[in-house]
A and B are shown apart, each in its own frame.
Chain A
Amino acid sequence: MFVQPKREKEIKPSQERQQRNTSLQQLGPKNILPLGYKCPRWPIFSPYSFSLKTPRSTLEQSRRDSRVRQTGERRDDDAMEAPQSSLRSALVFSFIAIAYLSLLVRSATLSSPELQILNAERRIDLTSHIIRVYLTLKVENTGAAPASEIFLAFPPAQVDHLAIVKAAATFGKKKKKSYLPLDVNPTDLPDAPNGAKCFSISLVSPLKTGESVTLEVLYILSHSLEPFPIEISQSESQLVYYHDSAIILSPYHIKHQTTFIKTSSPKVESFTRVEPSDRVGTELKYGPYEDRHSYSFSPIIVHFENNNPFAVVEELVREVEISHWGSLQVTERYKLVHAGARHKGVFSRLEYQHRPQFSGVSSFKHLLATLPPKVHSVYYRDEIGNISSSHLRTNSKKSELEIEPRYPLFGGWKATFVIGYGLPLQDFLFESPDGRRYLNFSFGCPLAETVVDKLTIKVVLPEGSKNPSAVVPFAVDQRIETSFSYLDVVGRTVVVLEKENVVPEHNSPFQVYYNFNPIFMVAEPLMLASVFFFFFIACVTYLHMDISIRK
């Protein structure tokens, strides 16, 4: 256990910013452990992860944040202040961990191919409550061995909210750019410090020494805008914090990097300055920074106005029922919540209706659901009946259902509802060459710009179908259930797919394959017919029989 005096010093509040920007590796202890030492997994608290979710820290943070708002010029230093002296004991552990980790980074880099990033550009889109980050990396192999994998690193605070990571290699010049999607998988890099999580991008062809490749990475964060103040009244607009690092966290050395942050409105209360940084309108620019070491980190906070609907579906259950008689019945049960700043005080309907531009700007009244074309028998209701405020627009490309909850949703308010619709079967059910049938349906939530915390898709196959298997383009939990519907005898097979933290980018098609014998289609009508037949037979027999005892 190595507790470096130097590290102790670092967590002191009055620490210089310059020192922080230095890479973790530089700050690491010089003690050398034997090679191959496995890094134990510590319960690491990074001093830089501001979204530590202990109540104490949020309290402190808010205190600190309020100071940020008050003082204009000093705010950078204040914001940079190491957060928690109270968490010191935890930090001691974490620095021990850092000591090991940074050590191991060295040892690891020895064995793995030496890569470096020539140019990195990051565009962070904060316009809605779903944060989309577009990362363009130009990676060069400077080592001796060819590299087949490129790693991306994320701070632990972001990893929890990371909904999706996509990567593509680009070829060609601007005009004739072509993209080649690449596989992205979460991995554990043994040398990642502070619980930073890594994703590996598998290249199609290994990168040889001296060659370079351009990668486009898109990753999406949900629940990463933190409203501050936590409670607002009806007339106030909503301000949120965004935490990130000015410098891209990467396991590689980055030669040249820039970060652009696009906010939803030009009203930015404050942002951490890491020179050179600049703001023009709704765009913040960090960088360009030159020659940053691997795992460099420089926390920033952007405090800005965001009145977009923070529509979060806490739980969504989509039930897709296949009937081979020609229809697909979809039922979606929503538990919607407004995840923005909590509503404080009274709600005045009068003000809300008379001055919509000033009152309840962060609330939302309606949501837009994009449904497949040719949708029919749409209903929108909750447990106490139909909700009369909805509009359906259909055209040949898509159907749009505009729904309004029973009341406008303010921060923290909840609503539950059910949307159901029927679809023609021939648009979604196909026969694969090997004789199996498969359903091709869209994963994800049809509501625009919403995050789904827990999505469950239940595909109810017709009675008598066998060997179901689901093909989903990303990792989901799968299981099989049995449900009973109209006059079922053996029950229907239900393929259940579960995924957490779903964003609109997950709306890609998935397939469920199964075997089905068409004879089962007529089983239930036959059953009904025979029941009636026997009933009438029984009646006729009864009428023609004399069952009296006495003649």
Chain B
Amino acid sequence: MAASEGATESNLRHAFGNVLSFFILLLIGVLAFSIRLFSVIKYESVIHEFDPYFNYRVTQFLTKNGIYDFWNWFDDRTWYPLGRVIGGTVYPGLTLTAGTLWWILNSLNIPLSVETVCVFTAPTFSAIAAWATYLLTKEVKGTGAGLTAAALLAMVPSYISRSVAGSYDNEAVAIFALIFTFYLYIKTLNTGSLLYATLNAIAYFYMVCSWGGYTFIINLIPMHVLLCIVTGRYSSRLYIAYAPLVVLGTLLASLVPVVGFNAVMTSEHFASFLVFIVIHVVALAYYIKGILSPKMFKVAVTLVLAVGLVVCSAVIAVLIAMVASSPTKGWSGRSLSLLDPTYASKYIPIIASVSEHQPPTWPSYFMDINVLAFLVPAGIIACFLPLSDASSFMVLYIVTSVYFSGVMVRLMLVLAPAACIMSGIALSEAFDVFTRSIKCQLPGVSQNSQIDVGDSTSGSVVTQDEVVKTDKTEDSLKERPSKKNKKKERERERENVEKASIKTPIQKRLLVLPLESSVIALLLLVLLGAFYVVHCVWAAAEAYSAPSIVLTSRSHDGLHVFDDFREAYAWLSHNTEVDDKVASWWDYGYQTTAMANRTVIVDNNTWNNTHIATVGTAMSSPEKAAWEIFQSLDVKYVLVVFGGVVGYPSDDINKFLWMVRIGGGVFPHIKEPDYLRDGQYRIDSQATPTMLNCLMYKLSYYRFVETDGKGFDRVRGTEIGKKHFKLTHFEE
């Protein structure tokens, strides 16, 4: 009788808990969405930065011309005179997502513009990513940890920096795809269901569509599989989780034009195939082991090992020879710079010139993940007790992503979800321990309610582990998966009841802490959380919401808005011929094509180094030579960004050294030392004559001295070297 009472009570509690967690998730979604709206409120609903403008333009094309034209789109507005095949060189996931959203909304007669949809795609997907985090962490460590991790992810600054409203970039949807793929992988690993394995492949496909970072998945999952095999955790669930992913995933990935045969040809994918072979060998071995008697098995092992080693070494030798014959060893430049952090700065200045490809500094870790950095180790420890397949995967994930984020600032984004999950686990475990010990020691609380508390947080975790264990036993018994599911559910119900009454009291007594210390610790944890929230809101509001296309400055008489970028683009779009070519440094290429709708020479898709070097050379050449280069490119307008008057630091003069370096990489007559005086970059009277005579200098400082009479550059903090000069070949 008591048992049945307990059962109904726990059912009720479960229903209540489900509703509660549903509402918490809903609120987390709202939080994730709204914290990213600072940019819209403070500035306006506009696309940010550079790359998003390209994505926006592609989306516009997609919504206007349809999907088939999109695949065949040859864009003649960029890379003049080469042009660019957009359909085959772009990751279409983001544009297709936004295009589909727009289409759905419009077919419901909700007339939102493409721009609005694009602006709000990133916040929407970050809310979804928070939910995906909940699912993933729930698979690893239970509901409590899941909710905490989702809340942390909803406002982690690193992710906010890439997904504020208007930051319409691949990462916005890719992080969701990444987490969701991992979730489905873990889910498959925990359940062994083929349905989830298929879904996993589809999620992987979406990730491949969205971001080049998909190689992270296709390397991390094989690593985990290998880890499981090595540590003797092989199971048929692992096989189901991995084999369909590789087969289906690779097939689907090669459907994406930008990936195509790269999915089987390049070294980034090599690890997955190797592990694919290994897992089959292991599966075979386990199968044979099941058939044969232990003695016979030993014989077979020695036999197979002997033959297998020979074959393997031969195959590996051939592979190594093939890979080594190609100059980059089959790796793309960006991946190589990941493996060897010094690679890019040595060989490819164009990758090194992008600020987000630089290694991060320690403050940027604190800025981007804040207190999570301290919680991560605790989370790792929590993952080890007890270590399951899922938690070992999380450990692997955090370790690799910490390495990658150490190489490139940009990959901090991959670290952020892992850090959130780890911290979520750590926080919820800590809360769990403290609250339980408080509850235990509080006088006047009946035994019954103590059980409730234990069940609501830790109970589910324990249940989870138990489920995993039961699964394993079931596997060894070789039951059919469909039956297993049913049985598992029933078992879970039963276990919930049992555990509530039997297991938790034992555990509780083990983990009891003194009342005072646990109360203080709880307060400290809450304080820590509060710090995190304050920091995140500050980062979202102040640091990451500036759209970079509109600049503001505060002065004594209020807020000043510098809208010069758009002024220039609007002028170009309305008052120049449709076919005019505009030359600028590649940073502004995307914006010029998107906002001014004019043909540019180079843009942010830096696929042709020589072409960029040509523009770099022109900018760093004397006027006449530059004029000839531009003439040969049919250039009619040269766009130069100069911030010396208002104090805008990221203008072309500050980027100029990269132009020299990239130009010099292809055209040897441009030498970097010519532009430096004693190894220093200066523009004042001490500057070298080459510097003072180059086109960039002249265009930037043309008639600059007339503004204040002295020619004082507020960015560089110096007076310029050469003041009165005339442009002979260019008109302002």
- Closest B residue by C-beta to A414: B574
Q: Contact check, A407 vs B571: say whether CB atoms are below 8 A apart.
A: yes
A385 at the interface (CB under 8 A from B): yes
**Complex: A485 Cα to B549 Cα, angstroms:** 31
List B residues 573-631 near A (Cβ within 8 Å): 574-575, 595
C-beta contact mask, B464-505 vs A, less than 8 Å → 1, else 0? 000000000000000000100010000000000000000000
Chain A contact-residue range equals: 20 to 34
Q: Does any Cβ of B come within 8 Å of A348's Cβ?
A: yes
- The reply on A209 being an interface residue by CB < 8 A is no
Q: How far is the CB of A345 from chain B (nearest CB, A)?
A: 8
- Taking the closest CB of chain B, its distance from the CB of A136, in whole angstroms, is 43
B706: chain A residues at CB < 8 Å are 350, 354
Is A242 at the interface (CB under 8 A from chain B)?
no
B566 touches A414 (CB 8 A): no
Q: Does A413 contact B (CB under 8 A)?
A: yes
Question: Quick check: A406 and B566 within 8 Å, CB to CB?
Answer: yes
Q: How many angstroms between the C-alpha atoms of A385 and B115 in the bound complex?
A: 10
Identify B482's interface contact among A354, A385, A415, A550, CB under 8 A. Answer: A550
Q: How far is the CB of B38 from chain A (nearest CB, A)?
A: 16
Inside 8 A of B108's CB, which chain A residues have their CB? 487
> Is A532's beta carbon under 8 Å from chain B?
no
In the complex, are the beta carbons of A346 and B731 less than 8 A apart? yes
Most buried by A among B571, B706, B707: B571
B563 touches A388 (CB 8 A): yes
Q: How far is the CB of B559 from chain A (nearest CB, A)?
A: 10
CB distance A406 to B570 under 8 Å?
yes
- In the bound complex, residues from chain B placing their C-beta under 8 Å from that of A484 are 109, 111
The answer to whether A385 and B110 touch across the interface, beta carbons within 8 angstroms, is: no
Q: Is A78 an interface residue (CB 8 A)?
A: no
Whether a CB of chain B sits under 8 angstroms from the CB of A386 is: yes
Task: Report if B314 contacts A (CB, 8 A).
Answer: no
Q: Is B569 an interface residue (CB 8 A)?
A: yes
Are B595's CB and A384's CB within 8 A?
yes
- Asked whether any CB of chain A lies closer than 8 Å to the CB of B288, the reply is no
Is A348 in contact with B732, judged by CB distance below 8 angstroms? yes
Do B111 and A486 have beta carbons less than 8 Å apart?
A: yes
Docked pose: A550 CA to B575 CA in angstroms: 71
A488 is an interface residue with CB less than 8 A from chain B: yes
CB distance A348 to B110 under 8 Å?
A: no
Q: Mark B207-236, 1 if CB is under 8 A from A, else 0.
A: 000000000000000000000000000000
| A395-417 with Cβ < 8 A to chain B | 406-407, 412-416
Q: Are B44 and A486 in contact (CB under 8 A)?
A: no
CB distance from A38 to the nearest CB of B (A): 49
Pairwise interchain contact A386-B44, C-beta atoms closer than 8 A: yes
B563 with A406: CB separation less than 8 A? yes
Closest beta carbon of chain A to B46's beta carbon, Å: 4
CB contact between A486 and one of B110, B569, B703 (< 8 Å): that residue: B110
Our pick among A346, A382, A386, A489 for the contact of B732 (Cβ within 8 Å) is A346
Name B166's closest neighbour in chain A (CB-CB).
A385
| A347 CB–B CB distance under 8 Å | yes
Any A CB within 8 A of the CB of B550: yes
Q: Which of B570, B595, B703, B732 contacts A347 (CB 8 A)?
A: B732
**A415 and B486 within 8 A (CB):** no
A360-396 interface with B by 8 A CB criterion: 381-382, 384-389
Q: Are A415 and B595 in contact (CB under 8 A)?
A: no
A346 to B702 alpha-carbon distance, docked (Å): 13
Residue numbers in A under 8 Å from B731 (CB-CB): 345-346
Distance of B568 from chain A, by nearest CB (Å) = 8
Mask for B542-555, Cβ within 8 A of A = 1, else 0?
00000001100000
Residue on B nearest A348 in the bound complex, by CB: B732
CA distance A389 to B549 in the complex (A): 15
A-chain residues with CB within 8 Å of residue B45 when the two chains form the complex: 385
Closest to B111 in A: A485
- CB contacts (< 8 Å) of A346 on chain B: these are 731-732
A415 to B731, CA, bound (A): 22
Interface size on B, residues (CB 8 A): 26
Once A407-B571, A550-B486 are accepted as A-B contacts, the answer to whether A384 and B111 lie under 8 Å apart by CB is no
Between A381, A388, A414, the greatest number of chain B beta carbons within 10 A of the residue's beta carbon is seen for A388
- By a CB distance below 8 angstroms, the chain A residues around B46 are 384-386
Give A414 to B577 CA distance when docked, in angstroms. Answer: 12
Interface SS of chain A: loop
Nearest residue, chain B, Cβ from A389: B563
Query: Once the chains are docked, how many angstroms separate the CA of A415 from the CA of B573?
Result: 9
Query: Which residue of chain B has the shortest Cβ distance to A382 in the bound complex?
Result: B570
**Taking the complex as formed, is B528 at the interface, i.e. its CB lies under 8 A from any CB of chain A?**
no
The reply to whether B550 and A388 form a contact with Cβ atoms under 8 Å apart is yes
B567 at the interface (CB under 8 A from A): yes
Decide if B574 touches A413 in the complex (CB within 8 Å).
yes
Contact A414:B575 (CB < 8 A) given known A386-B46, A488-B109: yes
Known interface pairs A487-B109, A487-B110, A488-B109; A384-B566 also in contact (CB < 8 Å): yes
| Distance from A520 Cβ to chain B, minimum over Cβ atoms (Å) | 15
In the assembled complex, the Cα of A551 lies from the Cα of B561 at a distance in Å of: 68
Q: Which residue of B lies closest to A337 (CB)?
A: B574
> Closest residue of chain B to A417, judged by CB?
B570
Instruction: Decide: B109 and A485 in contact? CB cutoff 8 A.
Output: yes
**A407 and B732 contacting across the interface, CB-CB below 8 Å:** no
Report the separation of the CA atoms of residues A413 and B575 in the bound assembly, to the nearest whole angstrom.
6
Check B574 against A415 for contact (C-beta < 8 Å). Answer: yes
A387 nearest in chain B by CB position: B563
Within 8 A of B (CB), among A481-512: 484-489
Q: State the Cβ distance, B53 to closest chain A Cβ, in Å.
A: 9
Chain B residues with Cβ below 8 Å from A384 are 46, 566, 569-570, 595
Residues on the B chain within 8 Å of A381, using CB: 44
Min CB–CB distance A335 → chain B (angstroms) = 9
Query: B703 near A350 (CB under 8 angstroms)?
Result: yes
Contacts of B109 in A (CB 8 A): 484-489
Chain A residues, CB < 8 A from B561: 388
Interface flags for A456-491 (1: CB within 8 Å of B; 0: not) read 000000000000000000000000000011111100
Chain A, Cβ-Cβ closest to B46: A385
Quote the shortest CB–CB distance from A232 to chain B (angstroms): 16
Mask, B31-43, CB within 8 Å of A = 1, is 0000000000000
Complexed CA–CA distance, A413 and B567 (Å):
13
Give the residue of A415, A486, A487, A489 whose beta carbon is less than 8 angstroms from that of B570: A415
Q: Contact at A416–B574, with CB atoms within 8 Å?
A: yes
A412 to B707, CA, bound (A): 27
A 405-440 to B, binary, CB cutoff 8 A, 1 in contact else 0: 011000011111000000000000000000000000
Inter-chain contacts of B111 with A (CB < 8 A): 484-486
Q: Contacts of A550 on B, CB cut-off 8 Å?
A: 482, 486
Instruction: Give min CB distance, B729 to chain A, whole Å.
Output: 13
Q: Which of B24-60 contact A (CB under 8 A)?
A: 44-46
The chain A residue with its CB closest to the CB of B53 is A384
Whether the Cβ atoms of A407 and B550 lie closer than 8 Å is no
Complex alpha-carbon distance, A378 and B301, angstroms:
80
Q: Shortest CB–CB separation between residue A543 and chain B, in angstroms?
A: 11
Contacts of B550 in A (CB 8 A): 385, 388
Given A384-B595, A486-B109, verify A406-B567 contact (CB < 8 Å): yes
Residues in A neighbouring B595, C-beta threshold 8 A = 384
Nearest to A488 among chain B residues (CB) is B109
> Residue-by-residue, is B698-732 near A (CB-CB < 8 Å gives 1, otherwise 0)?
00000100110000000000000000000000011
B703 touching A348 by the CB < 8 A rule? Answer: yes
Give the distance in Å from the alpha carbon of A484 to the alpha carbon of B732 in the complex.
Answer: 47
Q: State the Cβ distance, B424 to closest chain A Cβ, in Å.
A: 28
In the complex, which residues of chain B have a beta carbon less than 8 angstroms from the beta carbon of A488? 109
Contact check, B563 vs A407: say whether CB atoms are below 8 A apart.
no
Enumerate 5 A-B pairs (CB-CB under 8 Å) in ascending A order: A381-B44, A385-B550, A386-B44, A389-B563, A406-B571
Q: Which 7 A-B residue pairings sit nearest by Cβ, starting from the closest?
A: A385-B46, A386-B44, A414-B574, A406-B567, A388-B561, A406-B570, A346-B732
Which positions in B face A, CB cutoff 8 Å? 44-46, 108-111, 482, 486, 549-550, 561, 563, 566-567, 569-571, 574-575, 595, 703, 706-707, 731-732
- Taking A387-B563, A406-B570, A406-B571 as known contacts, 6 extra A-B pairs with beta carbons closer than 8 A to each other, sorted by chain A number, are A384-B569, A385-B44, A385-B45, A385-B550, A388-B563, A406-B563
